[in-house]
Copies of this chain bind each other. A is one copy, B any other.
Amino acid sequence: MSKVRVHISTSLDGYVAGPNQSMEEPLGEGGERLHDWAVALKSWRELQGMEGGEENASNAVVADENANVGAEIMGRGKFGPPDRGPWGGDPWRGWWGEDPPFHKPVFVLTHHEREPLTLSDTTFTFVTDGIEAALERARAAAGDRDVFIGGGADVINQYLAAGLVDELELHVVPILLGGGARLFAAVGPGVKLELVRVVEAPGVTHLTYRVVK
């Protein structure tokens, strides 16, 4: 059966975005540094249609996590804009321009209804009836392939707390952010994890956990 997977970059103090997220700093103050290890990579740049990049142990990790993913679920916070609220007459089309780097169906959790938005080969579908409904739709879209919970922290935490995640990969970056969007906030002790892989790479340590059901 297809899996529900999370992979996300986190600071050593447990934040997946810095404080004060804004239009200018979508990842909050200092949050861009969470992704320095990734944007330098050949495999990451390929996914964005860019040339060049480094080859190191992180490349295989990124390739693994993008393999076999059939759909993504993200929160309104990740889709944007930062001030949220109703979509309005000329609604926000995401951070990623006219050719978003997803190349698969994306389900956006929101409190505000909206028609689907197709940009290139990515269709964003807006889901207003909760995380379980979004997962059901993402599973149907993904078929045999996996569903990726793309963040932010609130959405990941909700899926973890509900026992709906099968695999969790943390890209632990050796920085402290001191505040921001906190992974595991209010998830609590009910989730059982088992380490399945450690990969050490420049600027990051990849820790992969299986959620024990």
Determine if B189 and A178 form an interchain contact, defined as CB atoms under 8 angstroms apart: yes
What's the tally of chain A residues with a CB closer than 8 Å to chain B? 31
**How many copies of the chain does the oligomer comprise?**
2
Interface of A is mostly: loop
30 sampled A-B residue pairs with Cβ under 8 A: A12-B170, A12-B184, A12-B193, A12-B209, A13-B14, A13-B183, A14-B14, A14-B184, A18-B189, A29-B189, A30-B189, A172-B207, A174-B194, A174-B209, A175-B189, A175-B192, A176-B187, A176-B188, A176-B189, A176-B190, A176-B193, A177-B189, A178-B186, A178-B187, A178-B189, A179-B188, A195-B205, A198-B198, A198-B200, A205-B207
CB distance from A34 to the nearest CB of B (A): 12
Specify which chain B residues have a CB less than 8 angstroms from the CB of A140 in the assembled complex.
Answer: none
Taking Cβ atoms with an 8 Å cutoff, the residues of A that contact B are 12-14, 18, 29-30, 170, 172, 174-179, 183-184, 186-195, 198, 200, 205, 207, 209
